[in-house]
Structure 1
Amino acid sequence: MPLTPEEKHTFKRDGAVIRRGLIAPELVRCAASLVETWYRDRLKADDVPGYSQRTFAPELGSHPDILALYGGTGAADLAGDLLGDTAPITTAQIQIRVPESEFPGVQPEKPMHVDGVSCPHLDPRELRTFSLLVGVVLSDVTSAQDGALRYQPGGHRTMADWFRSAWSLGMTEQVPPEVDHEQGVPLLGAPGDVLLMHHLVPHSVGRNLTPFPRVMAYFRVSHPDHKGRRLEALCDPWLDYPPLTFVPQISADKE
């Protein structure tokens, strides 16, 4: 089912929309089982910081059962509804928030940031941006203390203003102070839920205070022209979203 007009309005206002139960349970089980086995057999405490910066289970990123969460479901079609056209997806990012009780002190909270801009593990002059983040929930996330991703609805507009007026390539600050001080809204959900979030929406990730790992599969989706206009896309939030050009914004007082 394509995005409804209401969902497009919500995305344009908030920079994010959630589709509950989009992924079939069998696809979720296959993907989650792969990650669970890897977690049980391969993960060591010393590796958690590095994986947290990039991806856990890197050898699973191109596994057919992981890629099927995007290409074998309606998620790819929803991305197309927003971007009009999309570059091929060949790998996924697997992010796990490990239980603090099992791995104490090795995975601190991630501060507010925008992916691929001034990353601590990259040269600040290097951009690894994209257009749309598609996140698939692979474990229950019932509270912010589950290691939930926290995002700032409407923050894509704030960030675009900052990139236009106060930011320059090579700066080490990831977000302006007023964004850094916000807590954000926790992404809560069940396995099979899907988050569609604009690349410019600032987000953080909290510590996991439960006994169970929190698992997400992320797909970084780009408009085919994004690579050649990364700087422009930071300043114009709708450059990569031609289908939304004529979708009006809903103000908060109309909710």
Structure 2
Amino acid sequence: MKKIGLTLQQQRDIYRDGFVVLSNIIPQEMVNAARREINMNLGDVRAGAMGAENLSDIKTATKTLERVGSDKVILDLFNNTDVKKTVEAFFGRRIKPAAVAQLAIPFPQKPGENVNESGYHDKDTPFYGWCGHLDGLWNGGDRIPEIGKELTPHRRHKWYSDPSRNGCYRTYDQNCNVHNFTALVGIALSDQTIEGCGNLGLLKGAHHRIGEFFQQQRDAGGPLGPDGPGWKREHTEAPNGHGLRHYPEQVRAAFRKDALQTTDGRYWPKPTLVKVRAGDALIVHFATPHSVTRVQGPDPRFMVYFRASAPRKEAHLQVYPDALCDIWLEWRGMQNFVKEHDAKERRRKEFAIS
């Protein structure tokens, strides 16, 4: 199988920004096949829900769409295209084929009263409701607490239960509270060329500060992640009293330029709303905070996500603290670039001092 070589621009992009866009990398016929499979299953969900006699029937209908993430036509978008080869070039090693994908299909909606994981109404959250997060973090064992309603003892118990709604736990072994992988890979199945169409929002360049923060936590004795040094898990001052901090306040504060404030004075960093076309792919460093944004246009947004990990020892399959502190540890294909870049930076600083 022919290997893919990385361009200098691709290396510069992922190093500087924490993500890279691979334009027109998926053949149109594969995009169409994946869209057709998803739409057929959406139709099955609708038919099942319309014929439902109780809530259990509706839940069964929605499970149909979840299973699409393991269909071959979806997995082939990663496994049988140059996307996987490019990821392997970044990692400097072969990786296993993807076995499951996440279908991310937000539908159009108005800025509303629904409460997001940050504990604010969606309508009050700037940048189309962007709430950046790192993956692999506990996000509450029950539905998000409402604004203006105190949790009952029963609801409190459910909220703080493990695992959370996304399957993560508050604590893991190895003095780490983060279930980490290496890269998030997104494949666009619909055009997202203007803001407000459900763009993926990324906190450009924040991966460097995230890595530095994790090292600071380790130096302070850990654990790494929420509930560790300098990172309170809950933002109790949020309107619902239980807002989740899905990346550190120290990093948030570093991105105040162009940030907007809510009426309570909280700053919301401005994300880069990525613009892509159907058939484009994104490779996002694990340490780059990211989140979907609201769809205000007429059509749903179609994205498929894969979570890729470089080969690891058994003990580090779920939790790899070293890779959190050294953000290029698992990116062997980047290490020569990183060394050369860091050496240039050192020389530049030495010259400036002299």
Normalising by structure 1, we get a TM-score of 0.85
User: 2:199 aligned to 135, 148, 151, which one?
Assistant: 148
Verify the 8 A CA contact 2:133 2:247 in the aligned structure 1: yes
Q: Residues 120-159 of structure 1, C-alpha deviation per residue, up to 9 Å, x if partnerless?
A: 4333215432101111001111222111111022111111
User: 1:75 aligned to 75, 79, 83, which one?
Assistant: 83
SS at match of 2:208: helix
5+ residue gaps in structure 2? 50-54, 117-121, 123-128, 141-164, 173-177, 228-232, 234-244, 253-267, 346-354
Query: In the alignment, does 2:96 pair up with 1:87?
Result: yes
- The separation in 2 between residues aligned to 1:13 and 1:150, in whole angstroms, is 16
SS at match of 1:245: helix
Verify the 8 A CA contact 1:9 1:249 in the aligned structure 2: no
- Corresponding position of 2:213: 162
Q: What pairs up with 1:42-61 in 2 under 5 angstroms?
A: 42=45, 57-61=65-69
Q: CA deviation at 1:162?
A: 1.6
- The separation in 2 between residues aligned to 1:184 and 1:146, in whole angstroms, is 15
Q: Residues 215-251 of structure 1, C-alpha deviation per residue, up to 9 Å, x if partnerless?
A: 1001110011151652221111011111211103399
5+ residue gaps in structure 1? none
- The separation in 2 between residues aligned to 1:243 and 1:77, in whole angstroms, is 12
Letter in 1 for 2:104: Q
Verify the 8 A CA contact 1:136 1:217 in the aligned structure 2: yes
Q: CA deviation at 1:31?
A: 0.5
SS at match of 1:77: helix
- The separation in 2 between residues aligned to 1:142 and 1:179, in whole angstroms, is 28
Q: CA deviation at 1:56?
A: 9.4
SS at match of 2:305: strand
Q: How many residues align?
A: 243
Q: What pairs up with 1:127-138 in 2 under 5 angstroms?
A: 127-138=178-189
Superposition RMSD in Å: 2.8
- Corresponding position of 1:97: 106
Verify the 8 A CA contact 1:56 1:94 in the aligned structure 2: no
Normalising by structure 2, we get a TM-score of 0.62
Query: In the alignment, does 2:53 pair up with 1:24?
Result: no
Write 1 or 2 for the structure with the bigger share of strand: 1
Verify the 8 A CA contact 1:130 1:220 in the aligned structure 2: yes
User: 1:249 aligned to 338, 341, 346, which one?
Assistant: 341
% same residue: 28
- Taking structure 1 as reference, are residues 7 and 229 closer, same or farther at Cα in structure 2, changes over 3 Å only? same
For structure 1, which segment, 92-101 or 1-10, has the greater mean C-alpha deviation from structure 2 after superposition? 1-10
Letter in 2 for 1:246: N
SS at match of 1:111: coil
Q: What pairs up with 1:216-231 in 2 under 5 angstroms?
A: 216-225=303-312, 227=317, 230-231=320-321
- Corresponding position of 1:236: 326
Q: CA deviation at 1:91?
A: 0.8
Verify the 8 A CA contact 1:7 1:17 in the aligned structure 2: yes
Indicate the structure whose relative CO is greater, using CA pairs within 8 Å and at least 6 residues apart: 1
Letter in 1 for 2:169: D
- Corresponding position of 1:39: 42
Letter in 2 for 1:151: L
Q: Residues 163-205 of structure 1, C-alpha deviation per residue, up to 9 Å, x if partnerless?
A: 2224734522321225443121011111000101111111122
Q: CA deviation at 1:161?
A: 1.3
- Corresponding position of 2:273: 186
